[in-house]
Amino acid sequence: MSVTASESGGEAPAAEETRADRRLWDAAGGWHGAAVAVGILAATRIVQLTLLVWLDRATAEPMGLRGNLLIWDGGWFRRVAEGYPHGYTYGPTGALEGNELAFFPLYPMLIRGLSALGLDSGTAALTVSWLASVAAAVALHLLGTSLYGRRAGWALVAVCCSAPMSVVLSMAYSESLFLALLAGMFVAAHRKVWWAAGLLGLGCALTRPTGAAAALALAVAAIMAVRRDPAGPKWPPLVAAGVALAGVPAYLGWVGWRVGDPDAWFKIQTAGWGTSFDFGRSTLTFLHDTLTLGDGWVPMSVALILLAAAAAAAVAMAGRPWLPLAVYGLVAMVLVYGQAGYYHSKPRLLLPVLLTLLPAVTAAARARPRVAIPAIAAWAAFGLWYGAYLVAVWPYTI
- Band the pLDDT of 24: cuts 50, 70, 90: very low
In whole angstroms, give the CA distance from residue 157 to residue 54.
25
Average pLDDT, rounded, for the chain: 92
Q: For residue 2, is pLDDT > 70?
A: no
Contact present, 107 and 128 (Cβ < 8 Å): yes
Q: For residue 22, is pLDDT > 90?
A: no
305-315 residue pLDDT tens? 999 999 999 99
Nearest to 90 by CA among 82, 99, 81: 99
Residues with Cβ within 8 Å of 156's Cβ and at least 6 positions away in sequence, in order, are 140, 141, 143, 144, 354, 357, 361
- Band the pLDDT of 84: cuts 50, 70, 90: very high
Q: For residue 61, is pLDDT > 60?
A: yes
Query: Residue 19's pLDDT is what?
Result: 47
Q: Tell me the mean pLDDT in the region 37-49.
A: 98
Q: For residue 229, is pLDDT > 60?
A: yes
What per-residue string of b and e applies to 4-23 under the rule 16 or more CB within 10 Å gives b? eeeeeeeeeeeeeeeeeeee
Contact present, 136 and 185 (Cβ < 8 Å): no
**Which secondary structure element, helix H or strand E, spans residue 340, and what is its range?**
strand 339-340
Q: What is the pTM of this model?
A: 0.92
Q: For residue 9, is pLDDT > 50?
A: no
Q: Tell me the mean pLDDT in the region 332-340.
A: 96
- Band the pLDDT of 31: cuts 50, 70, 90: confident
Query: Residue 294's pLDDT is what?
Result: 80
**Which secondary structure element, helix H or strand E, spans residue 19, and what is its range?**
helix 12-57
Query: Residue 23's pLDDT is what?
Result: 44
Q: For residue 258, is pLDDT > 90?
A: yes
Number of H helices, E strands in the chain: 17, 4
Q: What is the DSSP letter of 119?
A: -
Q: What is each CA distance from 31 to 96, 196, 323, 382, in whole angstroms?
A: 51, 20, 28, 30
Pairing of strands 339-340, 276-277: antiparallel
What per-residue string of b and e applies to 182-206 under the rule 16 or more CB within 10 Å gives b? bbbbbbbbbebebebbbbbbbbbbb
In whole angstroms, give the CA distance from residue 335 to residue 279.
9
Q: Residues of the chain with pLDDT > 90: what percent?
A: 88
Q: Tell me the mean pLDDT in the region 133-139.
A: 98
Contact present, 315 and 359 (Cβ < 8 Å): yes
Q: Tell me the mean pLDDT in the region 218-222.
A: 98
Query: Residue 232's pLDDT is what?
Result: 81
Return the amino acid letter for 82.
Answer: E
Q: For residue 201, is pLDDT > 80?
A: yes
Strand positions, DSSP E, 189-286: 276-277
157-187 residue pLDDT tens? 999 999 999 999 999 999 999 999 999 999 9
Query: Residue 14's pLDDT is what?
Result: 40
In whole angstroms, give the CA distance from residue 307 to residue 290.
12
Q: Tell me the mean pLDDT in the region 49-72.
A: 97
Q: Residues of the chain with pLDDT > 70: what percent?
A: 93
Tell me, rounded to whole angstroms, the distance of Cα 164 from its chain centroid.
13
144-160 residue pLDDT tens? 999 999 999 999 999 99
**Which secondary structure element, helix H or strand E, spans residue 96, and what is its range?**
strand 96-97
- Band the pLDDT of 30: cuts 50, 70, 90: confident
Which SS3 state, helix, strand or coil, does residue 107 take? helix
- What length is written for the chain? 398
Query: Residue 29's pLDDT is what?
Result: 53
Query: Residue 107's pLDDT is what?
Result: 98
In whole angstroms, give the CA distance from residue 221 to residue 241.
8
Lowest mean pLDDT among 4-13, 127-136, 215-224, 249-258: 4-13
